[in-house]
Amino acid sequence: MLAVWIGLAVGSFSLSGKLDSVTRDNQADYLPASAQSTKVLEAEAGLPGGGDGLLVVVYERPGGLQPGDREAAVRGYTDLAERFAVDTADAPPQIVDSADGTALMFGLPLDREYVADEAEATSVTDARDLLADRPDGLDAYVTGPSAIGADMDEVFDTVDAKLLLATAIVVAVLLILTYRSPLLWLVPLAAVGVAAITSMGAVYALTQIFDFTITSMSSALLIVLVFGAGTDYALLLVSRYREELHRHERPVDAMLAALRGAGPAILASAATVVAGLLCLLVADLNSTSGLGPVGAAGIGSSLLVMLTLFPALLVVLGRRVFWPFVPRLGGEAHTPRSGWARLGELVGRRRVVSWAVPLVVLGGLALGLVGASGSLPQLDQFARSTPDSVTGAKTIDELFPEQGGQPVRVMSRPDQSADVLAAVQSTPGVASAEIRRASDDWVEISAIPVDSPESAGETATIKRLREHVDEVAGDAALVGGPSAELLDTDETNTSDRNRVMPLILLVVLVILGLLLRAVVAPLVLVATVVVSFFGALGLCNLLFDQVLGFAGWESSVPLIGFLFLVALGVDYNIFLMTRVREEAARHGTVDGTKRGLAVTGGVITSAGVVLAATFAVLATLPLVMLIQIGILVAVGVLIDTLLVRSIVVPALTMSLGSRIWWPSQLWRTGQDCVDDPSRTPLMTQSTTPCER
């Protein structure tokens, strides 16, 4: 097995380095194919010069403009036009003064050559370098859609390396604290590292076969998923392996027993997460649907490594890997009167209180969603530092309110362009409109809204535009542009949530039903996880709004958070309930729940803390979207691990008794000894009453 994995790791390493080459972060890569704004981007590609971009430059001197500042602006325009091959005869400088006399601004259209993925960041950097020649005290900002996109790409370029290093450090520290061994922590960390490399190589290979979108967001989440899930699987397997070493002399026999005991739960856990991730394939948003196969490849790689390479490493290293706490043959696998055992006894005595009070608390936290902010504006996507493109855009919005409108692009068939132009010009909220470019197939009309970008007024104007041009030309006219793209993204995220969330719940219920061979238990487990999700969502809404001061939720975060918290939250319930079911077959549901909690409580809590910590690493990154995902999942996992799985689920299980297993065989054979312990059950060939 070790030899096989050496070969696989070498092959995967060569492929993993190519993952960046297929990662895309254009707005079109996030949009669904059916959106009007996507069709506008496709239509623009056929126009002379292809799809274009716009650089907007604003000069500001807070104390008031001085002689020479306007000349610097004219010089900057000329230099930029020369650098980007813009014919100044057709595009003379139109430099606008702010009303308070402190700023100047102009716009420069760019051809497609300079806004392609490989050239956009370079063109924006070159523009900023050219504008460095200006009088002291005069600030210059390059903004506009191209500049904002370039600044976003620059942030994404550094995410993976920082995230990989930070996650590895966090996992290493937690493993050292968990195992308190100078050697043992290295084994799961090395195995997870192999899983990360394998998953990246697998994702790249999949892109060569299937057509799906890989964004920097999904690439970052891949790293977190592999480290979090892989470490969880390692913790669960090591815990069971340690138990079996007390019963078996040879490590290989102990490992085989551990795999038989923990393997099904780990397989079911991975299957649940993979199935949930693949539900994203039905989403319309390209970035969301692409996350499905990316995440599934990561979980699959983690599962494969942790059930093959990781056990092989442990067996080769033998018992000495646990030094100084080496498990001895014939010793006790766990202390019956551990803290988790005492918690089980306490919950057993106060069953209704133990599940009712936490559920009321979670319901109260969910009320934090009342009055939740809307979608996060594009200019507020950056955290910790504000790039020049955002500063410039906000300066324009403040000092040039009449010039702050972002162009909306309307595409029309040539034979209907006159009617479409008239409809655009007559639309309330449109300051001006003109025909910019045309081909045999399309005519481009540029409309400038009165309101600033991403404002409620601009959104209403775009919706009115679509209604008006649809009345005139139907499908022969399309409304797009940067703001329309953001609107389509938000609306698609909403429809995706309505479609994908119920599907995830259905898939998880089916998997739990097959695993536990029951109906009631899956319903109870999923219900607790959903309550946990809404509690975490409400708490995070208060945190983001009142403490961190975010301007809203990034529209894809609730769906991604729901997926991870439901799938990963059910994971821990799977680990607990499979052991409870195993114990209940011998000791009854109540005692089986206490025993299951005593045996699994520590390791599952450790796994939850590790997973929460790996997602919390996302909060160190400079993008609000990743910060929100990281905090939401971390908070949700901690709530689920420390409260729901440790108290609520055991309390509900003991309250329901054998009814939790309805309609399985365990429900029929276990109800006498569980529901009424004083009754004498029928005993024929059973070893214990509850086995009968």
Between residues 131 and 94, which one has the greater pLDDT?
131
∠ Cα 268 589 255 (to 5°)? 45
Determine the average pLDDT of the residues in 664-682: 51
40 neighbors 106 (Cβ within 8 angstroms): no
pLDDT score recorded for residue 674: 41
Between residues 224 and 331, which one has the greater pLDDT?
224
- Per the listing, tokens 């006498």 go with 672
**Neighbour tally for 138: CB within 10 Å:** 18
Determine the average pLDDT of the residues in 469-481: 90
Task: State the DSSP string of 148-161.
Answer: HHHHHHHHHHTHHH
Least confident of 99-108, 298-307, 333-342, 549-558: 333-342
pLDDT score recorded for residue 149: 79
Identity of the residue numbered 137 = G
Determine the average pLDDT of the residues in 649-659: 88
Indicate where the chain has its CATH 1.20.1640.10 domain(s).
2-25+181-333, 352-378+505-662
Give the pLDDT confidence of 532-576 residue by residue, as tens digits.
Answer: 999 999 999 999 988 888 888 888 899 999 998 888 878 788 888
pLDDT score recorded for residue 663: 81
pLDDT score recorded for residue 676: 41
Query: What is the rounded CA–CA span in Å between residue 666 and residue 516?
Result: 10
Between residues 633 and 51, which one has the greater pLDDT?
633
Give the pLDDT confidence of 416-426 residue by residue, as tens digits.
Answer: 989 999 999 99
pLDDT band at 404 (very low <50, low <70, confident <90, very high): low
Determine the average pLDDT of the residues in 637-658: 90
- The CATH classification of domain 407-480, taken from the options 3.30.56.10, 3.30.70.260, 1.20.120.1810, 3.60.20.10: 3.30.70.260
Indicate where the chain has its CATH 3.30.70.260 domain(s).
407-480
pLDDT score recorded for residue 214: 85
pLDDT band at 336 (very low <50, low <70, confident <90, very high): very low
Which CATH superfamily is 53-155 part of?
A: Multidrug efflux transporter AcrB pore domain (3.30.70.1440)
Distance of CA 450 to the CA centre of its chain: 35
Determine the average pLDDT of the residues in 448-470: 88
Task: State the DSSP string of 4-40.
Answer: HHHHHHHHHHHHHTTGGGGB---HHHHS-TTSHHHHH
pLDDT score recorded for residue 662: 86
Q: According to the CATH classification, is domain 352-378+505-662 in 3.90.550.10? A: no
pLDDT score recorded for residue 241: 92
pLDDT score recorded for residue 91: 57
Identity of the residue numbered 617 = V
% the chain with pLDDT above 90: 27
Between residues 334 and 495, which one has the greater pLDDT?
495
pLDDT score recorded for residue 88: 66
Q: What is the model's pTM?
A: 0.84
- The CATH classification of domain 2-25+181-333, taken from the options 1.20.1640.10, 3.30.360.10, 3.40.50.1220, 1.20.140.10: 1.20.1640.10
Residue 636 pLDDT exceeds 90: yes
Query: What is the rounded CA–CA span in Å between residue 49 and residue 189?
Result: 51
194 neighbors 302 (Cβ within 8 angstroms): no
Determine the average pLDDT of the residues in 626-653: 91
∠ Cα 19 23 383 (to 5°)? 115
Indicate where the chain has its CATH 3.30.70.1440 domain(s).
53-155
Distance of CA 242 to the CA centre of its chain: 34
pLDDT score recorded for residue 690: 47
Sorted by sequence, the CB contacts under 8 Å of residue 413 that are 6+ apart come out as 441, 442, 443, 473, 476, 477
| Residue 403, helix vs strand vs coil | coil
Average pLDDT score, the chain: 84
Residue 75 pLDDT exceeds 80: yes
